[in-house]
Amino acid sequence: MNPCPCGHLGDPQQMCRCTPAQVSQYRNRLSGPLLDRIDIQMEVPALPVSALQEAAQGESSAYWRERIAQAVDRQWQRQQGRNAQLQGELLAQFCALDAVGTRLLSRASETLHLSARAYHRVLRVARSIADLEGSDPISSQHLAEAIQYRRLAQTLAR
* pLDDT of amino acid 158: 47
Kindly tell me if the per-residue pLDDT of 106 is higher than 50.
yes
The structure's pTM equals: 0.82
Does 65 lie in the same domain as 2? Answer: no
Domain count, the chain: 2
* pLDDT of amino acid 19: 96
Which pLDDT band, with edges at 50, 70 and 90, does 152 fall under? low
Q: pLDDT per residue over 5-50, tens digit each?
A: 999 998 888 899 999 999 999 988 888 888 888 888 888 777 778 8
Range of the domain at 82: 61-157
Average pLDDT in the 91-114 region? 95
Average pLDDT in the 119-133 region? 97
- CB 35 within 8 Å of CB 154: no
Of 151 and 63, more confident: 63
Mean pLDDT of the chain: 90
Q: pLDDT per residue over 52-95, tens digit each?
A: 888 777 889 999 999 999 999 999 999 999 999 999 999 999 99
Does 5 lie in the same domain as 82? Answer: no
Does 88 lie in the same domain as 18? Answer: no
C-alpha 115/C-alpha 93 separation (Å) is 20
Whether 113 maps to a domain, the answer reads yes
